[in-house]
Amino acid sequence: MFVGTAYAMAAPPGAEVTTFDTIMSFFPLIILMGIFYFFLFRPQQKKQKAIRETLESLKEGDSVITQGGIFGSIVKIKDDVVTLQIAEGVRVKIGRGYIVGLRSANE
């Protein structure tokens, strides 16, 4: 059914296909990949970099929030283990990667 249409779309016999035509056929694909990079991949990389920098800059006394929604103050940091004080006399140890953000002093 579509075979005739496919043959009609082909280049006529003896027609020369130039290198420029081949390169131009890939041009829309290259444009699409550029759009994906600038609208999807690049912003995600920037966000991951900001999170990584925040986690590396943690220090004792910072108020943070964890992935589980627990608010607390950092009491001690040892390698990838952070000790949080979440209430008077209540301390929990969590992995550094489970901290999702810093809280400002007025919150």
Per-residue pLDDT tens over the stretch 73-107: 999 999 899 999 999 999 999 999 899 988 876 55
Decide which of 53, 69, 84 is a domain's last residue. 53
Query: What are the φ and ψ backbone dihedral angles of 75, each rounded to 5 degrees?
Result: -100, -40
Looking at the 3D structure of the chain, how many domains does it have? 2
- Specify the DSSP class assigned to residue 67: T
Domain carrying residue 28: 3-53
Same domain flag for 46 and 70: no
Residue 8 shares a structural domain with residue 49: yes
Task: Give dist(CA 72, CA 85) in Å, integer.
Answer: 5
With a cut of 60, say whether residue 7 has pLDDT above it: no
Q: Cα(30)–Cα(13) distance, rounded to whole angstroms?
A: 29
107 in a domain, yes or no? Answer: no
8 and 47 housed in the same domain: yes
pTM of the model: 0.59
In a domain, 29, yes or no: yes
